[in-house]
Every structure is written in C-alpha cells, then in structure tokens.
Structure 1
C-alpha cells in the first residue's frame, strides 16, 4: 500500500511539474512576442475571453427575465417560484463594487499635491485623471475601476511608496495609471464582472451541512436527498471551476502583455532608469518585512513602567517615525552584489508580484531591451515635501498597524 501511495504522489508531482514547465514556456514565449512587437496571440485571447463572458452574463439575464415573467403571468405557485428565481438572480448578479471609503482614502481637497502629480502623469500618458487615491499597508500598488460611474481607484501601498525615490514614485504612478489605456480588460465591466459572477456562483453551490433530522425512513429520505443534491451540485461546481480556469487562462497572457506595456508607459513618464529602479525595488519586499519584524520585536521586549512588556499596538510616536527611517536606511544599505543576487534568485524562482504579473526579471529585461528614455515628468522639492505632509497621518497610522502585527 505505501508503494502505491508513493507512486500516486510521484505521478501527481510529475503532472504538477509538467504544468509548471508548460506555464514557464508560455511565459517565455509571450516575452519574446512582446519584445519583437507581436501581439496576435493576446488579441485572440481577449476576443475569446470576451466571447466566453457572454453566456455568463446571459445566464443572469435569463434568470432575471424568467423571474419577472413568472411574476407577471403565473398563478400563485408560479409567482412564488418567480420571486425565488428573481431573488437568486439578484444574489448572483455581477457586482460593480463601490469606491472605497474610510481612513485610507485621500480626498482631492486633503491631498492636492499628490493628486496634482498623478494628474500630470495621467495627462502625459493621455489617460483619464484618477478618481480616488487610497493608501494601504501592503508592499504593492494597484489600479481598479469600480461603480456604475466607473470611478478609477489608485491604491498605493505605503511601504512600497516609502522605499522608492521621487522618480521611481512617478514611474509607479505611470505604471498604474497606464492600466486605463494599455488595453487591460481583466478588471473591466465586461470581463471583470463575469469573473466575479463565476466566483459567486461557485460559492452559492458550495457543500452545505447535511441534514440529520428525523429517524428511520425520514432520516433515510433526507440522507438520499443530500447525496443526490451533493452529486448534482458537485457537477455544477466542476463545470463552474472549469469555466473560471478557462477564463483565467485566456486572460493570463493578455494581462501579462498589458503589464509589460504599463512598464513601458512608466518608463516614458519617469525615465527608463526610474522604471528599472521601481522593478528592482519590488524584489525587496522581504527586506521591508524584516525591518518591521525587528522593530516590532524590539518594542515588544521593552518593559512597561508598571512591569511586564510594552504593548505593540500602542507604539509611541518616535517608534512610528523610526520604522520609516529604518526602512529607508536598510534598503539603502543593500549593495549592488546583494541586489544582483536577488535578481538571480528572481530568475531562478520566477518571482512575480502575483500570478497575474510576468516574472519581474523579464519585466526588467524588456525595459533594458528598449531604447533608454529620459523623464517626461519630474517633481520639485516643494511638491515632494507637500506630498509627504499630506501622507503624514497615514504614515503614522499604517506604521502603528504594522508594528502591532
């Protein structure tokens, strides 16, 4: 028996390795296509994904239409059924999300300098101005479009922002704002809502707790009904999972091409050097976590005035400022040899921001293949100081959150 289990595990490992190898080959092939200026494959993928989204949306429309028809034309039992169908259509409908609110959101009146810099970058790219800017604690940044009015939301991870110099920050803004013009449809109204609908449908048909009411024949009827419904829902879940995987597969390479284009737009506004510096900094995420953990441990080891250990969630002001200072000093101390080692490890491990992005070393390689360009947008010392002042309260809030663990 152990030998059979070992053989099964080896077969699974071989299949996993084969899938990973195939994915790596597709990634390399896409890199060559983008580097050579070819994009036929990704155009076909976008079209196929858009076609796949059509029946997903039609299911929601059909449910809503059937529910309304039963309510209008049916008798009392059919109207009850229509109400249930209409409720299901409402629960399973594609969501458009809403613009964020809360402490992490910066209003234009509260951050005119940051919005002004983002608007200048957008104007240089020919992109729409950003609607909302929010800050969070992740070592990342993102752009999304939400709501009926399709409001653009730029989310800046403050640890990443603090790790960058001024031109690299402009490259970051350029990269994120370029997602409005680089042909990235993954999070658009049509494809994004279809993908979200599939996730909600899958959640709707997840296994539920089996009934245990009754005894004898009643319990047997419930048990048979549970097994039959679970068998049916299992088939539905398998089908939904296959469709979702296919949609992800179709948008994966096209989405990665959009990321390459966003990198090039970032270089156009901030310079090739700044865009490469931004990508190199993305490899330093673990170093920022090291700084946070080290300072958190130091704070936690201090004795309180009344005895015991210091509370991490009430870190004093000097410690909050010290986090960002130590972060900058730690990253500045990482020399060229260590950075080259991180880049080599990135090539070996296929490091990427997430599975929707190309490997970071390929993004760097593509920028290095292109002719170097100078910065089209720069910031003054006065503007940089104003942005730092606008982010001051958020720097303190996020530092406390990070130090609290």
Structure 2
C-alpha cells in the first residue's frame, strides 16, 4: 500500500484540534441539557393540559404581527440565536477551518450530502401519495445530541472521528438551512426581504468596529423581524448575520458570549416546547408508530443516515484511491454513520414547517424523531463501545511497551 495515497479523516493541525476539543465540550453539555429538556417535555405533555396551555399562549404585539405563541417564540426567536452561532461556525470552518482546504472538505461535504439525500429518498418512498412534504425531516443531524451520546460512549476513540462528526454536522446544518429557506418558504414578501438588507448591512458594518456586542442587538432584532415578515423562516436571519461577522476577533468574542446562551438556554427551551407530544397511552403510541410519516422518519434517520454517510465516505475512498487515516477503521465510520441518525433540533423545526405545529402529522413527526434517534443512539452504542474497548486495549499495550 503506497504511503503517498491521501488519507481520509486525518487529524487537522494542533491549533484546530484544540479549538474543536473546546467546542466539543460545550456542545456535549448542551446535548445533555437538550436530552433532559426533551424528557421533561414528554412527561409534561402526558400528565395534563398545563404544558399545551403554556405552549399555545399567545404573547407579543399584534400590530407588528408578532403576536406569537410561546412555542413559536421558542422556534422562531430563541432558535435564531442557535442559528447565529451556526453561522459563525460555518464561516470559521470555511475561512480558517477544515472546509477551507478543498481536499479535507470534500469528505465531510460528500458524506453530508449522502446523509441528506438517502434519508429524503427513503422517507419519500415510504410516503408516496401521502405526506411527502416532510421529506426533509430525517435529513438533519443534531450535533449536540450526537456529541452527548458519543461522550457517554467513548473515552478512547481517535480525535479524528470526533472532528469528522463535528465537520459533518456543520455541513449538515448548512444544507438544512438551505432546505428551510428554499423549500419551506410558501409566501415570500420581497419588500420585507429587501428591507432586511438595511439592518443586516448596518450590523455587518458595526461588528467590524469592535464595539460592545450589545450595540448589535437592536440591529439583529430588526433584521430578524424583517425576515420574519418576509415569509422566510426567521432563523435564517441568524445565519446571515453570523456570516457577516469577521472570523478573527469579533467572531471569537461573540461566540464566547452566545454559544453558552445557545447551548444552555435557546436549544433546551426550544426542545422543551417542541418535543412534548401527547402519546395517548399504548394504543396512541402504536397508532403513531404504524403511521407512514412516523415510519418514514424512523427509517430515514436510522437506515438512511447510515447508508448515506457510510456509503458516500466509502465512495470517496473508492474513487479517489484514498485510505482511511491509520488511526481509524471502517467500523468506526459505521458507528459514526449510525450516530448521525440522531436528529432533533432542526428535524423538529422542519416538521413544524412542513405540517404546522400541533397537527397530527407533526405529532407523528415528533414520535418518529424521538424513536429514530433512540434507535440510532442504541445501535451506535453497540458499535462504538466495541471500538472503544479495542482502542483502550491498544493504549494499554502501548503503555506497557513504554514502561
């Protein structure tokens, strides 16, 4: 085997590895909070009417068309903070991270595309002649949820695997944002969209002055409101604003302030108000699980993500004549591909956009996301825990050899 052949999933620079390690710690904590919020929501939704009453309470000024339910404020408002941080991370990866190098970027990009296309095809085939509008629900990987599971499962897996999962999820987020903007915008008001350009341009100018981040908040709120009125989902404003921030200096300061707010508040609160589904006992659960919407989501997440991510990565190796990094095995890639089937935050959002909050199809989407994510996590646990034991033995042997 030639040593000149390119390596797939190789580790990046030491500086990049240190940055990603810190990011993984923050996202892992956020994932734990997200899982807890979803569990509490499920319990609250099935013990009475208080949960639904609070979620559906309307607040906000009606004159500005901002009289939204608390649940809508969580998905349209708080989640914009999450997408702003996603925008910062996307730009950083494109300008200074792994996605800057076309050779390193090719693998996670192709894997993410495969992980989007195959689940969408599976869902559509299951729902032909029915609720095909939800085709994008199983295409998104929840990085915080997946990293929380990975952290619980593995302490000895190579760092290149975690880096690949993070980069894959970053590209996955970009694809999901594009899907939301293009396919789930029904009534577009071009004038409001053009109006949003003004506060966004001012935000881009002010953020370069290195002033207090709080001076940017009013401009961000106005931009968010204009995009909300345009018919494009308001969270897209967060991504666009994130892309205007210079990578060096401003992005680091804003990310330091907002990433904890996103991980510890915005995403868990959204999860709490979006994940609660009244199952209606055993009969309700069996009815939901037998519905084609639910089956399409489960199969898309569990089978589609695995086939898409693993298959696309294998094809990259096959047609570029590249080898896996020497620290990794294809069993590792299989475990990671299964883990990518954990969908939550963006999947829940797409379900609401596709079918409307509170609709029967949306409720079945939630059941499918929860069931599919749990199955994906369980299957990934089997593979990754086995691989973790292998790497632990290798490390023990290396220590013995050195002593």
TM-score computed with the length of structure 1 as normaliser: 0.30
Asked which structure has the greater CA Rg, the reply is 1
Asked which structure has the greater RCO (Cα within 8 Å, sep 6+), the reply is 2
The structure where helix makes up a greater share of residues is: 2
